[in-house]
């Protein structure tokens, strides 16, 4: 492996959470920038809750596993070739995002569950953040993690994974090495995770064999205090994590949806990546009101580069209108990602929203007068959505369900028409 080649390092995604009182108005605010190979398309997909036959299986990206009797409704942002998700939420107000992390132990190339599959499985099966955590670690124990993180026939890039799992009350930071793991519970302040291990000596739950395993590898003497990141990080890793940590901690005001969007748009800090190998291909911001009578709101871009994208709101209701324009074409069993050997060709996975947005990206990059005008109008569109949501959160009346069911659909539709 050529370690100078940046694609071998884990992509620099960032995940954030802020709790009241650091976050405003009793809202928990969650966000992620998903850094992926530059040309990869992410789609935003809703799956309704479903009951499943006993003994049925679910086909994840590379392997099939036992299905559960019932899966929750979810909305996810995912690379269009795989089954799982980079980030998303379920109907119970659980949000999960993952990170590929570099650790002392190389990840298995053998096809198993991907970190992204575990994000989706946690959302489908967990009613609280803690329940989702338990789902993920028990599936890790049973099936392990491994396989190619990229749609790439020429080489297998596999990574260990970390997760930020959040609900209205608490968050869990879960970091994994193979089937081994440790987790920390967070209920206040702010937290950022990135592509390096972050847990140190405060662990609220861990794999029962974690410390024995570290000792058996010669990574821990058993004498010193057990520091997860020091034990499992690659020797050459400088644990300065996060550009993200600074962005979040130096916010003087209380943190709102808008603050989180601004942090995700920041290229100067490195949180919004736009490099030769990687691009922020999609972003999410969620607000989870601690007051249960208010709905959770999830904003997705569905397009690359948040500094040139519009965050569009989604709210779970029984009758959500599907948004095919933010969904990639489906190639069924003929998909080269599903056939072995995999990825022998790369189909065009761009959805309608992505294609319309490509025009906008080109105009914005030109930096001309037209670009400035366009940016202004895009922010104007976004602001209308944000203000409408603010109203739903502050109003004492429940929102109009029919309107809410069409919300994401209408925003995507408006955006596409506008780009045309």
- Is residue 89 within 8 Å of residue 296, measured between CB atoms? yes
Tokens found for residue 146: 């491994």
- Is residue 144 within 8 Å of residue 112, measured between CB atoms? yes
* Nearest C-alpha neighbor of 64 from the set 117, 107, 115, 100: 117
Asked if 330 is an active-site residue, the reply is no
Q: Among residues 15, 60, 95, 194, which one is catalytic?
A: 15
* Nearest C-alpha neighbor of 361 from the set 349, 380, 347, 378: 378
Peptide bond into 341 cis (omega under 30): yes
| Residue with the two structure tokens 């789609």 | 43
Nearest 5°: phi and psi at 164? Answer: -115, 115
**Cα distance between residue 370 and residue 163, in whole Å:** 40
CA angle 48, 170, 392 (to 5 degrees): 55
**Cα distance between residue 368 and residue 394, in whole Å:** 39
Sign for the CA dihedral angle at 14, 115, 19, 383 comes to positive
- Is residue 290 within 8 Å of residue 168, measured between CB atoms? yes
**Cα distance between residue 310 and residue 21, in whole Å:** 27
**Cα distance between residue 100 and residue 257, in whole Å:** 25
Partners of 23 in beta bridges: 255
Give the catalytic positions in this structure: 15
């Amino acid at each position: 492996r050529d370690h100078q080649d940046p694609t071998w390092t884990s992509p620099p995604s960032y995940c954030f959470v802020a709790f009241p009182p650091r976050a405003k108005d009793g809202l928990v605010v969650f966000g992620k920038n998903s850094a992926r190979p530059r040309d990869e398309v992410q789609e935003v997909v809703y799956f309704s809750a479903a009951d499943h036959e006993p003994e049925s299986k679910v086909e994840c990206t590379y392997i099939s596993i036992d299905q559960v009797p019932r899966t929750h409704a979810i909305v996810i942002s995912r690379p269009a070739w795989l089954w799982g998700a980079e980030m998303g939420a379920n109907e119970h107000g659980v949000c999960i995002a993952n990170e590929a992390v570099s650790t002392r132990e190389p990840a298995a190339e053998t096809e198993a569950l991907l970190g992204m599959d575990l994000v989706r499985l946690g959302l489908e099966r967990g009613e609280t953040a803690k329940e989702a955590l338990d789902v993920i670690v028990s599936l890790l124990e049973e099936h392990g993690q491994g396989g190619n993180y990229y749609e790439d026939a020429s080489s297998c890039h596999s990574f260990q994974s970390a997760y930020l799992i959040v609900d209205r009350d608490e968050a869990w930071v879960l970091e994994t090495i193979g089937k081994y793991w440790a987790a920390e519970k967070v209920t206040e302040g702010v937290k950022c995770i990135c592509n390096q291990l972050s847990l140190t000596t405060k662990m609220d739950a861990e794999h029962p064999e974690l410390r024995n395993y570290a000792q058996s590898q010669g990574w821990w003497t058993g004498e010193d205090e057990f520091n997860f990141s020091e034990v499992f990080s690659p020797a050459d890793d400088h644990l300065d994590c996060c550009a993200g940590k600074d962005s979040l901690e130096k916010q003087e005001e209380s943190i709102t949806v808008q603050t989180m969007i601004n942090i995700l748009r920041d290229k100067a800090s490195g949180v919004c990546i736009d490099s030769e190998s990687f691009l922020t291909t999609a972003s999410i911001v969620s607000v989870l009101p601690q007051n249960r009578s208010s709905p959770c709101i999830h904003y997705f871009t569905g397009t690359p580069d948040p500094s040139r994208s519009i965050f569009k709101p989604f709210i779970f209701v029984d009758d959500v209108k599907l948004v095919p324009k933010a969904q990639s074409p489906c190639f069924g069993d003929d998909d080269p990602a599903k056939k072995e050997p995999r990825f022998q060709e790369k189909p065009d996975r761009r959805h309608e929203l992505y294609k319309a947005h490509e025009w906008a990206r080109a105009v914005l990059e030109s930096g001309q007068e037209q670009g400035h005008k366009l940016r202004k109008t895009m922010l104007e569109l976004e602001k209308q959505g944000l203000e409408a949501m603010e109203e739903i959160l502050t109003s004492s009346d429940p929102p109009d369900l029919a309107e809410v069911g069409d919300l994401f659909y209408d925003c995507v539709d408006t955006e596409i028409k506008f780009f045309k």
